Chains A and B, each alone.
Chain A
Amino acid sequence: MEELIKKVNSIIDLSKEGEAYFISIATEKSTPKGSTLIREGQAVDKVFYVTSGCLRSYCIDKNGKEHTLQFAIKNWWISDYIAIHSDEYATLTVECLTDSNVIEFNAKELSGMLTLFPEYEPFQRNLLERHVLSLNKRILNQLQLTASERYDLFLKQYPDTEQYARNYHIATYLGITQESLSRIRVEKAKR
């Protein structure tokens, strides 16, 4: 929790009262490998900040196959933001790929920070900007880069995730088949 507070305070100057409220709405949780924090088809009111471990959000297509949208490692936030912001049921599932520790917030209470403590707003905006940036980059990378380049970026962006994630988690994140991922890995090993 301290680390998160430090992160917040590195961007804004949160008042003592703001900090106390922020802590009061946060719940630190240990979540075992394989546990599901958000389940497709159910109501969502939580967002999670990862303090350790590795999580994954994915959707399931009509044929029953999973497609990874995002991985989340230390210092990343994860939730089903579509469900939260459009007040719909989850279209994503969020699962823990390792034993993890997260800080859980109720999304409405976290938004409440903006009204109660206006100085918090730049932090929230910063988060949102980074989120939009990362989504745009992901789309552009998908359009412009080769599968091999996208894989290199994945390795940089999510260090160590390869040891926790299954091949199909990574392959579907990159938008390629498991066979292509294996081929890319073999080629990289040769280099």
Chain B
Amino acid sequence: MKALQITKYGEIKDSLAFNEVSRPIVQAKDVLIEVKAAAINPIDKSIILGNFQSMMPIPFPSTSAYDVSGIVVEKGNEVNNFEIGDLVYSRVPQEQMGTIAEYVAVISDAVSKKPGNISFEEAASLPLVGLTALQSLEHVGIKEDDKILIHAGSGGVGSFAIQYAKAKGAYVYTTTSTDNVEWVKELGADRVIDYKIEDYKIIVKDADIVFDTLGGNYTAEAFEVIKKGGKVVSVVGSLDEETAKMFGMADYKLPEELKTLCEDKEASYKFIFMHPNGAHLGEIKSMIEDEKIKPIIDKVYPFSESIEAFAHLATGRAKGKIVIKIS
């Protein structure tokens, strides 16, 4: 079968190639998905560039990407929750990376039936951003009337998180640049802050939750805008001690600055490391079918133009997700 593979760490144009590879073999708990569409995310670019080579080294060549939608064509003998012919979507686990290919084998726990009211392309755009937003906002227990600041509302995770938070009845502040203000408003955000002309730190006061999707100074600044006892949840900032322990870093301590900020505001800080989860994708399926959340797609590329799709991702200018139509 044909697959887009990472041949070495380096620049996108030098490190990706279409190769003929053998079809994956399903293990007892796997389903084999005939890929209809795959989607790419900033993490896919970072992996190619080698930014994660110490944490998550990959063998070469490795097929690229994690997000997928398609049809179950084969299943392992311990799979009871799917049938051949089921239309599914998934964010595949690290060790099964490789969705820009004609087939991918995925552990069935990481798979869900796809929402029935959207296309394969739209379904492929959801898993990684949806799971990241859902797992982050579920962790902080977002609820009706909570005030939440979601950074980068026009990003993949941000645009999903806005819709998720609105579905839960929260009041949503979000930041974005001038060009994106209008369409981000349409996602339902109550107060869209154009960071080019407004200072979010003046506008947002006493937030219950800050969802930090930017990291850097933004993590510390979150404590300026949350209320006493508020919650900061980050997908890019420093690890928290519990998460670090999960990764085997038993001696890790939360950076002193963050620790002080938490103490001063009696606040909590949590780093969320998105994990593949079919049940969570099932929750997202229901929210999509009930139109509480809509997929946002920037552009769909044919399989043969997958490398161009990565080049587009690298510009950082996409308004919504970049999807690759496989078949």
Contact = CB atoms under 8 A, between A and B. Distances in A.
Interface of A: 36, 39-42, 58, 60, 63-66, 166-168, 172, 178, 182
Given A166-B289, A166-B290, A178-B291, A40 B85 contact: yes
Q: Main SS of the interface on chain B?
A: loop
B67 interface: no
B106 interface: no
B34 to A, nearest CB: 12
Given A39-B85, A168-B116, A64 B290 contact: no
A63 B119 contact: yes
B214 interface: no
- Of the listed residues A39, A58, A60, A168, the one surrounded by the most CB atoms of chain B closer than 10 A to its CB is A168
B83 A39 contact: yes
A168 B85 contact: no
B119 A42 contact: no
A63 B116 contact: no
A41 B116 CA distance: 17
B290 A65 contact: no
A167 B291 CA distance: 9
B267 interface: no
Nearest to A41: B85
The 7 closest A-B pairs by CB, nearest first: A168-B117, A66-B116, A63-B119, A64-B120, A41-B85, A166-B289, A64-B119
Contacts, number: 39
Given A39-B85, A42-B85, A60-B87, A168 B120 contact: no
B121 A63 contact: yes
A172 B116 CA distance: 11
9 contacts: A41-B85, A60-B87, A63-B120, A65-B117, A166-B117, A166-B290, A168-B289, A178-B291, A182-B291
Contact of B114 (A40, A58, A64, A167): A64
A64 B85 contact: no
A40 B114 CA distance: 15
A166 B288 CA distance: 11
B28 interface: no
A65 B119 contact: yes
Contacts of B83: 36, 39
- Of the listed residues A36, A58, A63, A178, the one surrounded by the most CB atoms of chain B closer than 10 A to its CB is A63
B21 interface: no
Nearest to B117: A168
B126 to A, nearest CB: 13
B249 interface: no
A79 B47 CA distance: 49
A171 to B, nearest CB: 8
Given A41-B85, A64-B120, A168-B116, 7 more contacts: A63-B120, A63-B121, A64-B118, A65-B118, A66-B117, A167-B289, A168-B289
B45 interface: no
Given A168-B116, A168-B117, A178-B117, A64 B87 contact: yes
Contacts of B291: 167-168, 178, 182
A64 B289 contact: no
A65 B121 contact: no
Interface in B273-316: 289-291
Interface string B220-244: 0000000000000000000000000
B32 interface: no
A61 to B, nearest CB: 9
Nearest to A171: B117
